[in-house]
Copies of this chain bind each other. A is one copy, B any other.
Amino acid sequence: MSSVVHLIEEGREQREIRSLPSSHLQPQNAPYVHRVGVPRKQNLFKELGATVKETFFPDDPLRPFKDQPRSKKLLLGIQAVFPILEWGRSYNFAKFRGDLIAGLTIASLCIPQDISYAKLANMDPQFGLYASFVPPLIYACMGSSRDMVIGPVSVVSLLLGTLLQREIDPIKNKEEYRRLAFTATFFAGITEVTLGLFRLGFLVDFLSHAAVVGFMGGAAIAIALRQLKGFLGIQNFTKENGIVHVMHSVCQAAHHGWNWQTIVIGVSFLAFLLFAKYIGKKNKKLFWVPAIAPLISVILSTFFVYITRADKHGVRIVKHIEKGINPSSAKEIYFSGNYLLKGFKIGVVAGMIALTEAIAIGRTFASMKDYQVDGNKEMVALGTMNVVGSLTSCYVTTGSFSRSAVNYMAGCKTAVSNMIMSLVVLLTLLFITPLFKYTPNAILAAIIISAVIGLIDLEAVFLIWKIDKLDFVACMGAFFGVVFISVEIGLLIAVSISFAKILLQVTRPRTAILGKVPRTNVYRNVLQYPEATKVPGVLIVRVDSAIYFSNSNYIKERILRWLTDEEEKGIASYQPKIQFLIVEMSPVTDIDTSGIHAFEELYRSLQKREIQLVLANPGPVVIDKLLVSNFANLIGEDRIFLTVADAVASCSPKLAEEEQV
């Protein structure tokens, strides 16, 4: 044991508060009072280095490199960029069997989804398939998640489509629209790589879980609403996403624009898809039923339309999917001109959202199988994949939650399942696309609707409501923002409320009055422990936050208000006058110049009321700053104690004396 302690003690001395009288003034029979420790002043650059390291490299990425020969370091470095070199060496047939089954299952799910999602982004169907061919291959080599399935996803497709059509009409200026989409994809990738390289991965954490739940739910509703066009066979449909616009469009078309054949096809297959989903949920072993249901629907409905020639009766069909693999799009990206900036802006937003989704998926499955996903490395992988994608006619891709879940349940072992899926998509592009000609649009709408329903997480919403009401407000704000206004506004609301919550916490921290828990020597919040008793003549306040410029004034005034309240109560119940104010500083992890100013003002106010300020348990950073700023001297270093109990012990004798008089 002691050797461990000595390891830490080495190279560090301890400055102690010299004049602490507890050691020499207290009578011999008084209880032992330990001194408040003051950590040794650290070298400025060391301190700065530690802060930078903790901020940007909290995961200690160089740990495996430590104490390794140079050649080993190089190998580890290459492996860090391409994890496939690491796990590939121990790859075997047993793993391949799992990956093969999983890969085939997700391929059957992704092909109809890809074609559908491309429509959300206002792109031709083949671009959805392109995006499930190249990016998964890149990710399989560079990514560290074993379960994440890469491809186009509904929310990002919708977001991209909405943002792009603000700038260019996707029907009139098809080519320019496509070029801007690739430009945005390129910059989405660059954004992701940059965030990863500069280790700014933590920015993704600023979108709170609650906000994401609300945003996803809202996006699901918005996406489902847009499907009413294909589902009801409406020709003239609004471009807006807001529910009001969409419902207006739907009602207007009701008199003449609905197509009953389309509706029959759509409704019956949607019912089939939802039933398949239900089966998969009931019996986890039948997970493959909902996974292949979309493909079956596509095949059946295509065959049905082909036989009945329903397309002649107003049932809209896919018509044409380009055959062949991804053409190069390197020359289509706008590297200059007006669209460069626009593409950049759209790319940054889409890239961040794509990142948020991928990181969430990566973390979820990693924690289920208990392996580590390095957020920053992941970002570099996802970014590279999108940059390469933008050069090969893919639009923004990321991890898909529904496909990753199927992948996980189908027993995937490594990213090889992504490669299998990619291969199947390749074969589809080469040989099968012409067969999709008669696929009705209604079936694609049904597939999207049945897929996005899974994004509405009512259980999570209920839990959020139970746990934190402010989180619930953020969640609902994002949800209604997306449903009623637009995707961007919903996103903006989500981010704003998330930030406001952080600021609120920092501006209005909690404070509590402490009392002595009976039969112990600990002091706790009297609201949590009503049995705790207050010490007569002493007010013990705990401040529950670091004291910074944004809250220092509030904290000072809050403490004075506690004091006034308690004094009034004391007078009402004939208590002795309060003579000591003990501030329990255990939760005060830091203090800045404004905070020290506020304490100086507090000290002066208390002096005028003849109340002595006493501090209990300041942490290492706080005690250091109190000493440096001379505040410790001002209140007297003998007024700073290790525990509240010690502080009370030092105040009480005096009070006891006076009570006897």
Chain A contacts to B: CB under 8 angstroms? 1-5, 7-9, 12, 14, 32, 34, 37-39, 44, 47-48, 51, 54-55, 58-60, 202, 205-210, 363, 367, 370, 375, 460, 463-464, 466-471, 498, 501-510, 512, 515, 517-522, 524-534, 536, 544-546, 548-554, 557-558, 561, 569-570, 573, 575, 586-587, 589-590, 592-594, 596-597, 601, 604-605, 608, 617, 619-621, 623, 625, 628-629, 642-643
Contact = CB atoms under 8 A, between A and B. Distances in A.
Contacts of A512: 619
10 contacts: A4-B573, A7-B569, A44-B469, A208-B548, A363-B553, A467-B628, A502-B506, A517-B642, A521-B521, A587-B587
Contacts of A503: 206, 502
Nearest to A576: B1
Nearest to A645: B522
A592 B471 contact: yes
Contacts of A4: 534, 569-570, 573, 575
Nearest to A622: B528
Contacts of A508: 54-55, 58, 202
Contact of A208 (B501, B530, B549): B549
Nearest to A208: B549
Contacts of A604: 367, 370
B619 A525 contact: yes
A502 B621 CA distance: 17
B593 A468 contact: yes
Contacts of A553: 205, 363, 375
B587 A586 contact: yes
Contact of A519 (B34, B504, B522, B569): B34
Contacts of A520: 32, 34, 642-643
A528 B37 contact: yes
A561 to B, nearest CB: 6
A658 B324 CA distance: 67
Given A208-B550, A554-B58, A593 B471 contact: yes
Contact of A468 (B39, B505, B592): B592
Contacts of A469: 44, 47-48
B554 A205 contact: yes
Which of A1, A471, A629 neighbours the largest number of chain B CB atoms within 10 Å of its CB? A1
A31 to B, nearest CB: 9
A486 B460 CA distance: 48
B5 A519 contact: no
Given A205-B549, A520-B642, 9 more contacts: A37-B528, A38-B528, A202-B507, A202-B508, A467-B592, A510-B590, A525-B620, A528-B623, A545-B546
Contacts of A12: 527, 530
B526 A58 contact: no
Contacts of A621: 510
A40 to B, nearest CB: 9
B468 A561 contact: no
Contacts of A587: 544, 586-587, 589
A217 to B, nearest CB: 14
Contacts of A1: 533-534, 536, 575
A352 B317 CA distance: 60
A8 B551 contact: no
A48 B44 CA distance: 44
B464 A209 contact: no
Contact of A548 (B54, B464, B501, B530): B501
Contacts of A467: 592-593, 596, 625, 628-629
A54 B590 CA distance: 22
A566 to B, nearest CB: 8
Nearest to A554: B58
- Choose among A463, A470, A529 the residue with the greatest number of B CB atoms under 10 Å from its CB: A529
Contacts of A532: 5
A2 B533 contact: yes
A561 B597 CA distance: 36
A463 to B, nearest CB: 6
Contact of A39 (B528, B531, B605): B528
Task: Give the residue among A532, A551, A594 with the most B Cβ atoms within 10 A.
Answer: A594
Given A507-B202, A530-B8, A570-B4, A593 B464 contact: yes
Given A205-B549, A502-B506, A629-B466, A642 B524 contact: yes
Contact of A642 (B9, B34, B522, B573): B522
Nearest to A206: B550
Nearest to A620: B528
Quick one: which of A370, A520, A601, A628 has the most chain B CB within 10 A?
Answer: A520
A507 B201 CA distance: 11
Contacts of A570: 4
A520 B644 CA distance: 13
Nearest to A503: B502
A521 to B, nearest CB: 7
Contacts of A208: 548-550, 592, 594
A589 to B, nearest CB: 4
Contact of A209 (B468, B527, B549, B558): B549
Contact of A498 (B549, B561, B625): B549
Contacts of A586: 586-587
Contacts of A34: 517-520, 522
Given A44-B469, A575-B4, A589 B506 contact: no
Contacts of A32: 519-520
A202 to B, nearest CB: 6
Contacts of A623: 528
A138 B252 CA distance: 60
